[in-house]
Structure 1
Amino acid sequence: MMFKNREEAGELLAQELVAFRNDPDGILLALPRGGVTVAYQLSLALHLPLDVLITRKIGAPGNPEYALGAVSETGAVYWNQEALSGLSLSERDLSIAVQAQQKEVSRRVALYRQGRPFPNLKDRSVIIVDDGLATGATFFASVATVRQAHPRRIIGAIPVGPRSTIQEARALVDQLVVLRVPDPFYAVGNFYRDFEQVEDREVLQYLNLAEEAFISNS
């Protein structure tokens, strides 16, 4: 079954997360950019604040689409050891690959946060949201980032992903809500009828609208 779009995926996830509605310690952290569209629907339905957690995939030298890992805005790095084992890369190669993505991470932090600090997650129920998992690299880096902030619990909210990645994700969080685990799995976009790229201006719009809605419902 395909999702109509990211909005529908968010609405369906919200139905599975009703236990967190109006949770005073709850917060949604969306992985930009596609995850923000999904998480916006969760924010409206669950009356929870929405923020972003900025991560970037680290691609292999000469093959940027091949995910070696991911880096988050706090500097947390996740490495896919299986992917690394098939390559002969030096520490310098890996450092250069990380630095290349940190530039884009810094750009997005400046644009999306607009001076706001990273949210305080201590003793909170943190729901990490994306529009789907493939290798899971950015999600795993995000979990590592949140774990360092000492939350009460970490919940993953994912519309779709392959079985192997979902199993790995489930082992890293306190609760994982996933709507589809198709087999075979090819790419996240194959499970959406509308999977157009989300632009920066849309991310900002969703964040602003979510803040306005949360304040009006408080």
Structure 2
Amino acid sequence: MIFRDRRDAGRRLAERLLIYRHNAIVLAIPRGGVPVGYEVARRLEVPLDLIIPRKLPIPSDPEAGFGAIAPDGTIVLNERLVAYCGLSVGDIERISKEVLAEIRRRAREYRGDRPLPELKNKNVIVVDDGLASGYTMIAAVRAVMREHPKRVIVAVPCSPESSVERLEKEVDEVVGLAVQPYGPFAVASYYESFPDLSDEEVKALINQAPVT
């Protein structure tokens, strides 16, 4: 299954999520998850908001991550990578502090003065444009779980099967349209158009969407 772009993926994904629309909210992971989440929220006629986890970059290879951190400080580590890279507790604390500062900067940029949404007793649908290892999504949903939602659903257009299995241990439901059972995986390969998004594009979609 190939998607034209993120919004096309969101429209297709939304059809699989209609059963969760009652008392629901969509939380999109910026930047790429926002166009997907926008279309899901619009189809379900529910509010759209953000959750902003980020990977914890490996110092020698910043494009790769050894785990992830959520806005509330929830940390998920790939213990094998931590050991392989020889990262100390001090290294992890320093990197986590730097990444958390960037999360808070982005939150101010995207949210402004808008209060955080109420998640208690709601169906919370956490959306991204795809899963890779899944650690960033795990950090996000663990933070969401602390707010006592009724149900947590992870929804993504594409993912490796291993990441779906990893997330199924964390949440009530994982909805994926294109789940790759084996072989090298790249989120971008499932899209005809997969451009980088700017902060301005993210804010424009958030401002157009239903709010809590």
TM-score (norm 1): 0.93
Q: Does 1:200 align with 2:199?
A: yes
Structure 1 segment 7-46 matched on structure 2, within 5 A? 7-21=7-21, 23=22, 25-46=23-44
State the distance in 1 between where 2:197 and 2:135 align: 20
CA drift at 1:63: 1.1
**TM-superposition CA deviations, 1:31-67 (whole Å, max 9, x none):** 0001000000011100010000011110111211221
State the distance in 2 between where 1:123 and 1:82 align: 35
**Residue in 2 aligned with 1:147?**
145
8 Å contact kept, 1:161–1:185: no
Q: 1:157 aligns with which of 155, 161, 165?
A: 155
Structure 1 segment 76-95 matched on structure 2, within 5 A? 76-95=74-93
Q: Does 1:133 align with 2:131?
A: yes
8 Å contact kept, 1:131–1:159: yes
Structure 1 segment 40-189 matched on structure 2, within 5 A? 40-182=38-180, 183-189=182-188
> 2:169 aligns to what SS in structure 1?
helix
Structure 1: any 5+ residue segments left out of the alignment?
none
Structure 2: any 5+ residue segments left out of the alignment?
none
CA drift at 1:177: 0.5
State the distance in 2 between where 1:36 and 1:201 align: 12
> 1:93 aligns to what SS in structure 2?
helix
| Aligned residue type for 1:93 | D
Q: Does 1:6 align with 2:2?
A: no
State the distance in 2 between where 1:184 and 1:12 align: 24
CA drift at 1:87: 2.3
**TM-superposition CA deviations, 1:153-197 (whole Å, max 9, x none):** 100101111111111011211011000112323211111110001
CA drift at 1:71: 1.0
CA drift at 1:112: 1.0
CA drift at 1:18: 1.3
8 Å contact kept, 1:67–1:135: no
CA drift at 1:99: 1.5
> 2:176 aligns to what SS in structure 1?
strand
Identity of aligned residues (%): 38
Moved more, 65-74 or 46-55: 65-74
State the distance in 2 between where 1:197 and 1:73 align: 22
Please report the RMSD computed on the Cα atoms of aligned residues, expressed in angstroms. 1.3
State the distance in 1 between where 2:107 and 2:16 align: 30
8 Å contact kept, 1:33–1:200: yes
| Aligned residue type for 2:89 | E
> 1:206 aligns to what SS in structure 2?
helix
8 Å contact kept, 1:57–1:70: yes
After superposing on structure 2, the runs of 4+ consecutive aligned residues of structure 1 that deviate more than 6 Å are none
CA drift at 1:117: 2.5
